[in-house]
Amino acid sequence: MTQALHFDPLIEGEVAAGRIGSVIHTQGPLPGEGAQEWQKRFRSLQEMALSSAPAIPLLFGVDAVHGQNTYEGATIFPHNIGLGATQNGDLVEKAAAITALEAQATGFNWVFSPCIAIPYNEKWGRVYEAFSESTALTEELTRASIRGHQGRLSDPRTVMATAKHFVGDGSTEFGIEGGETTLSAAEIEERLLPPYRAAVASGVGAVMASFNTFEGLPMHAHKKLITGVLKEEMQFEGIMLSDWKGYSRFGEADIINAGIDMVMAVDGDLELFQKGLKKAVETGYVSESRIDDAVRRILRQKLRLGLFENPYPSETLVDKIGCAEHREVARQAVRESLVLLKNDKDILPADPKTAKIVVVGAHANSSGLQSGGWTIDWQGTDRNYTGATTILKGIEEIAEGEVIYDAGGTGNHPDADLAIICVGEPPYAEFFGDIGHESNTLQLNLTDSHKGYIENYKAQGIPVVVVLISGRPMVTTVEITQSDAFIAAWLPGSEGDGIAEVLFGKYNFKGKLPHCWPASLDDFNWKYGPNAWDESVKPLFPLGYGLQYPSKK
């Protein structure tokens, strides 16, 4: 029932003693220098586990939420908000299958994906982890993602998937990570639970509990929903997993009684959890039958994964990491995720023969910035990482005329025929991305410097195409008015050249808004923002909006 970090100083002794059920890799020291070393590290831990008594194989879990994003050189897909914009279940399934294969190639048999939250306030720092505010669309893409990740579970190219975070994580007041979800039980049933029903029906192997509270209780300790609804009513047979430090944060033995089966005993929780749970069983606070149920669920999934017969990752998969075939699927996902919000006088598609194009902004030349959080590092990175292609590079490869890069948006190119201006958010993850959190200066509109990029070029009469790189819809009403064309590109991942391919008309726009697009900051004064929860607020663009190039005659 214990999940521990692979670099925990206690890990080897605990594994050798048979007291660890799963190992997790997330932010922290890497398992090695390359995929073979990662596999070697996890193989050594697996060998220790299988040499203990009883010989129970380990599960190896990783936060692979848009590709195997903890491994530099892997294929990184658009975050789920971009996949939601594609509305393409087949594509989501392919992306999940590639993520599974590249996760296995780096030593993992379990991924903590997909996030199937329904976000209702763009101030939440995890909006981009979810597919859409549409329950129906989220249901459809949940099924596709689980099919892709899990395939036939015993196949060594697939992994166990995790539906998260159960439940209400995206629907807290004012979008506060871990805040209170003040919906009625009927609203949760109608809007938030259908994707979980779809996940369970699809055979998802694990569900992760969320940080938020509901009815005054932490969700980790909410027995009525975890045991009553998920396990009994939905007949979920898999592993109910805590989130980070769930034991010490949300009620210790109470979370086990509520139905948590495996605990992320990390960051100092390992001994606390094991000793605390043992004492709770000895005093009768936690029944042995509850422990038996948890262990049975964990063993069931290990059997379904075929770990008793095939406990080790295959070295033959290593060469598939970041391969051309995988990157082409990611590039297709980028192309189909782009949402065209404005295209005055059909300024797009751009002509590759345009004499002089100026590309503006740091987001145009950084694969880290274009990928967002959960990319190489937990909070993302602003640097270029191995194997990725930037938006600027993609433009340079297609454009036949002169391409100038203006990182600071100076406007010092008055003779330019077209300005492609890339603006947006810096990378962030979890509560560090909450608007208004003390850890950041994030806002729902563009920074003054990014507004200046657009103004500097527009003032010179140069046609302006704005590409917005963001993890959520932003208040850009003025900037959309100022621009000649405006594109919501979300967080496209490693294949920035997919954006260039659409800008120059090699492919048409297909993306449709997975969220309503806000018109004003005033729309967020109410706790759930401008979406389906408050029909009195009229968005700038509705859910499902998206333009295309006119058909060629």
DSSP 140-182: HHHHHHHHHHHSSTTSTT--B-EEEEETTTT-SGGG-TT-EE-
Statement to judge: residues 444 and 498 lie in one domain: yes
The reply to whether 547 falls in a domain is no
Q: Tell me: do 295 and 347 sit in the same domain.
A: no
User: Residue 253 corresponds to which amino acid?
Assistant: A
Q: Specify the pLDDT at position 552.
A: 58
SS3 541: strand
Length of the chain, please?
553
Mind listing the pLDDT tens digit of every residue in the chain (553 residues)? 999 999 999 999 999 999 999 999 998 899 999 999 999 999 999 999 999 988 999 999 999 999 999 999 999 999 999 999 999 999 999 999 999 999 999 999 999 999 999 999 999 999 999 999 999 999 999 999 999 999 888 888 889 999 999 999 999 999 999 999 999 999 999 999 999 999 999 999 999 999 999 999 999 999 999 999 999 999 999 999 999 999 999 999 999 999 999 999 999 999 999 999 999 999 999 999 999 999 999 999 999 999 999 999 999 999 999 999 999 999 999 999 999 999 999 999 999 999 999 999 999 999 999 999 999 999 999 999 999 999 999 999 999 999 999 999 999 999 999 999 999 999 999 999 999 999 999 999 999 999 999 999 999 999 999 999 999 999 999 999 999 999 999 999 999 999 999 999 999 999 999 999 999 998 888 788 776 556 777 899 999 999 999 875 3
Contacts of 187 (CB under 8 A, 6+ apart): none
Q: Is residue 327 part of a domain?
A: no
In this structure, are 310 and 343 located in the same domain? no
Structure tokens at 536: 């009195």
Same structural domain, 217 and 310: yes
Predicted TM-score of the model (pTM): 0.97
The domain in which residue 268 lies consists of 2-319
Exactly one of 63, 425, 430, 523 is catalytic; which is it?
A: 430
Is 187 an active-site residue?
no
Cross-strand pairs, 468: 423, 488
Categorise residue 445: left if φ over 0, alpha if ψ from -120 to 50, beta otherwise.
beta
345 and 313 in one domain? no
How many domains, the chain? 2
Rg (CA), the chain: 24
In contact, 326 and 94? CB cutoff 8 Å: no
Q: Is 533 within a domain? A: no
Residue 243 known to be catalytic: yes
Query: Residue 190 carries which DSSP code?
Result: I
Residue 377 maps to a domain: yes
Of 319, 349, 375, which one is at a domain's C-terminal end? 319
pLDDT at residue 525, rounded to an integer: 81
- Euclidean distance between CA atoms 435 and 174, whole angstroms: 9
Among 361, 358, 357, 324, which residue's Cα sits nearest to residue 469? 361
pLDDT at 553: 36
Instruction: Classify burial at 159, counting beta carbons within 10 Å of its beta carbon; exposed 0-12, middle 13-18, buried 19 or more.
Output: buried
Tell me if 537 is assigned to some domain. Answer: no
Average pLDDT, the chain: 96
Hunting for tokens 């050249």 — which residue is that?
497
Q: Pick the catalytic residue from 72, 169, 177, 243.
A: 243
